[in-house]
Amino acid sequence: MPIPLRSDAELTALAGGGSELAFREIYRAYAKPVYWLAHGIVGNASDAEDVLQETFLVAWRKLPGFALAGDSLLPWLATICRFQAANRLRTIQRERRRLASDAHAELVPAPIDVAAQVADTQLVELILAEVQGLGELDREIFRLCAAEGYGYQAAADTLGVSHGVVRNRLSRIRTRLRATAREGS
């Protein structure tokens, strides 16, 4: 019998009320996509991990009183992530400028390609919108397989569907998202 999945709205309400278990479910569901968004902005694993943790710390603090506007927390978490990543980049730049002023000029950062960051952010938003447009089962298959790293059979068992359903639907989802990515670039 498959484990009943809670909606993001239910998890948000529970976590906002202080449920650490609900917050852990939110973290498990969205840590990977938030990490990769952070990595795309800050450019390295260490800083991306810090941004990931900062993003979920801010989310934990803001959940009480937060009302979910759509079906997914990912757009809200992505927004927090972008702000935290921008803060991290500013901190890195300040530190490098300080070091440069201490006769370490070779540590001055390369200029940040703002246009590329804007394009990356727009692409992420296009893909998030496309994922939001998927049916409930397809969104869950995408979340489990793409975001949480489940194998086809594990996702099938969790959702109570066959291995072939997960494999075929995920293939169609990926094709759709690739087309969206090509159109957005």
- pLDDT tens, position by position, 127-174: 777 878 888 898 888 888 777 777 888 889 889 999 899 899 988 888
Same domain for 134 and 67: no
Q: Which of 83, 112, 141 is the last residue of a domain?
A: 112
pLDDT of 1 above 80: no
Same domain for 101 and 14: yes
Same domain for 180 and 131: yes
Both tokens assigned to 112: 């940040």
Same domain for 96 and 15: yes
Both tokens assigned to 114: 């703002």
Do residues 120 and 94 make contact, with C-beta atoms less than 8 angstroms apart? no
Same domain for 170 and 100: no
- Structural domain that includes position 151: 117-185
Q: Considering its fold, how many domains does the chain have in total?
A: 2
Return the top range by mean pLDDT from 28-37, 96-105, 122-131. 28-37
Task: Kindly write down the DSSP assignment for every residue of 141-158, as one continuous string.
Answer: HHIIIIIS---HHHHHHH
Do residues 47 and 92 make contact, with C-beta atoms less than 8 angstroms apart? yes
Same domain for 90 and 6: yes
Q: Which of 59, 77, 112 is the last residue of a domain?
A: 112
pLDDT of 50 above 90: yes
Same domain for 83 and 143: no
What average pLDDT does the structure give for the chain? 82
Nearest C-alpha neighbor of 118 from the set 110, 129, 126? 126
pLDDT of 117 above 70: no
Residue whose token pair is 């990912």: 74
Same domain for 124 and 101: no
Both tokens assigned to 143: 């979340």
Q: Residue 3 — pLDDT band, cuts 50, 70, 90?
A: very low
Same domain for 83 and 20: yes
Q: Which of 64, 88, 112 is the last residue of a domain?
A: 112
Same domain for 121 and 107: no
